[in-house]
Amino acid sequence: MEFEDDAYVLAARVHGESGAIVELLTAHHGRYAAHVAGGASRKMKPFLQAGARVLVRYRARVSEQLGSAALEPVGEGPSALFDDPLALAGIAAAAAIAAGALPEREPHPGAFLAFEALTSAFALEDIWPAVFVRFEAGLLQDLGFGLDLSKCAATGATDDLIYVSPRTGRAVCADAGAPYKDRLLALPPFMLSAQGRLRPGDIGAGLDLTAHFLEAFIFNPLNRPLPPARLWLLDRLREAGRL
């Protein structure tokens, strides 16, 4: 089995004296793990960081085996954000979420495109946390657990949608949700429209919303917690006053 594809590095760990096992999110083949010869070398380590863009040439004798890969770096990758530790924390969290949520060897081109859009947004300091929330919502959508924010689950109204049902993932309008507001999740306006203005607390509400459904629909059924990198990102955003 052989293929060549665009990919992002999700994780890498040393294997043997000089190699590495690298997890990749590919454009057309999904999440793949591969052995990279020399991956532990000083020369290769910079482009084996989470979020690095690479061209991968993958080869395996049979499809069920762990194959080997040759990687070619594309662009600067995370090194361009070396002076922005908050953005680096965002990249690490996004890679960890993708690695934990996506099934192996199952094509998810939508997830690749969402990750691509997010990595481009990290250069925009004021915008990328909102794009991160949209990335997680898009990942849920791509895995078949999309939120239905188009209309109120109770009345069918399309205006004044400010809550989400924690059970169904459907939007609820202010009037219908008022008696149950303590049991509903807040829906920040920016998740309804690309033109939605960010208000104080919106990023935190958005991250709480996506975390709930990532846990309920993906990580809990796999008996896994949310990745530590995702929790660490919340701590960094809180310290920076971004929540």
What Å distances lie between residue 149 and 138, 183, 191, 216, 222, CA to CA?
A: 13, 17, 8, 18, 26
Q: How far apart are CA 220 and CA 64, in angstroms?
A: 27
pLDDT for the residue 195: 65
What is the CA 187 to chain-centroid distance, rounded?
A: 19
CA dihedral 198, 204, 206, 212 (to 10 degrees): -170
Residue type, 61: R
Q: Where are the domains of the chain?
A: 2-77, 83-143+200-239
28-46 residue pLDDT tens: 999 999 999 988 788 888 8
- Please choose, from the candidates 184, 175, 179, the residue with its C-alpha nearest in 3D space to the C-alpha of residue 156: 175
* Per-residue pLDDT at 148 exceeds 90: yes
- Please choose, from the candidates 201, 178, 203, 183, the residue with its C-alpha nearest in 3D space to the C-alpha of residue 191: 203
202-240 residue pLDDT tens: 999 999 999 999 999 999 999 999 999 999 999 999 999
pLDDT for the residue 174: 97
Query: What six digits make up the tokens of 28?
Result: 């057309």
At the top level of CATH, the class of 2-77 is mainly beta
53-79 residue pLDDT tens: 999 999 988 877 888 999 999 987 787
Task: Report DSSP letters for the chain, one per residue.
Answer: -EEEEEEEEEEEEEETTTEEEEEEEETTTEEEEEEETTTTSTTTGGGGSTT-EEEEEEE-SSTTS-EEEEEEE-S-GGGGGTT-HHHHHHHHHHHHHHHHHSPBT---HHHHHHHHHHHHHTT-TTTHHHHHHHHHHHHHHHTT---B-SS-TTT---SSEEEE-TTT-BEEEHHHHGGGGGGSEE--GGGT-TTPPP-TTHHHHHHHHHHHHHIIIIIGGGT-PPPHHHHHHHHHHHHTT--
Q: How far apart are CA 54 and CA 31, in angstroms?
A: 14
pLDDT for the residue 196: 64
Quick check: 134 and 141 in contact, CB under 8 A?
A: no
